[in-house]
Structure 1
């Protein structure tokens, strides 16, 4: 298997005000379950919450940007997400590589 690329992903959740609470609860549960599966697969590597916001930053791995888009667009909360993806490249002074 080829080496996967890393992506820094910012996700902001924007629930519509008229979306029923039970729908939000169901989607949130489904989202957590899928995130756990992605973590076990090595796709979702790390996740940080932005305090006081419905927002997070995550370190993700995928073969390429197309696969990264496919993974994100399959998330249950995708229709309510504002996503920014930054492809990451190795840096010569990264302690992992020195």
Structure 2
């Protein structure tokens, strides 16, 4: 597994929605070399709070264990395509 995706200025809520649709492990790799498994809600809280500046992810890399998850996150990063993920505002309507 090699770094495949560099994140800059990602909407965190939308990113987490897309992340929930991933089937394999997704690791956030920080500049310091920390690997956080973002399928864990605890790692999401710990890792993302360190990287968030003004509601956006400042600088990180993503490594996926499954190629289809790489494709899903690449499309989100490049095109903003959320695929099957629900938009954050749609999740609020469900409550």
Per the normalisation by structure 1, the TM-score is 0.33
Give the number of the structure whose alpha-carbon radius of gyration is greater.
1
Higher helix share: 2
Higher strand share: 1
